[in-house]
Amino acid sequence: MRFVFALICLASSCYGQIISTPTVWKKSGSPYTITGSLALRSTLTIEAGVEVRVATSGRITFWTNSAPVLIINGTESEPVVFRSSNGTQWQGFNVPAQTSRRAVMRADNAIFRDLGAGSVFALWNGDIDLFNCEFYGVPTIPAGNIGAGTPSRIGIGGTTIGAVEQCHFEGFGSGITLAPGLALLNCDFANIPDAIRIQPGRAATVSALGL
């Protein structure tokens, strides 16, 4: 897989585009800025109150031949916030379908704003638990931006397992795809014109779609 060079800027210093050792992003160093593709090959823990700003071309990719882990420890009073660094959009998260080891993502009280065109939450081989999170897509990407005219979509598919509980989803014009092994509990949805799609064979674990 090809990665675009990225810098993650912390205060007045920056470091490279791959996280290969356990790393903690602290509130005292916030905001953190990602200028391109950030590849996780180890564990990244993000503390409560951190803001992550991502460039238009930026995304977080879980490394395909490693054991990547993303832990987001927001709280109700101090959520972790992801947003565009320039007020437009960013490219979200990606776990490639060919990942040889399962990616792990745990997020409590996180807000994901300005999610852009295409599959902005494309997780295809992971162990995912999302609690009390908010996701805001761009219903139609405006002209002059990456993916202009293409609405956002969330795709948590493949062999992904886990739970998405008490989360809010808004503005995903191409809908949401959910894996058979993913429990969706007490979530709500707004401004999503296309139906949520459950992959074939999915267990009946949806308790509230809010459509």
The pTM for the full model equals 0.83
Contacts of 11 (CB under 8 A, 6+ apart): 29
Question: What is the pLDDT tens value at each position of the chain, 211 positions in all?
Answer: 334 445 555 543 344 478 889 999 999 999 998 888 888 889 999 999 999 998 887 888 888 677 789 999 999 999 999 998 887 888 888 876 655 667 889 999 999 998 886 667 777 777 889 999 999 987 665 555 555 556 777 877 777 788 889 999 888 877 777 777 788 888 888 877 655 665 554 443 444 444 4
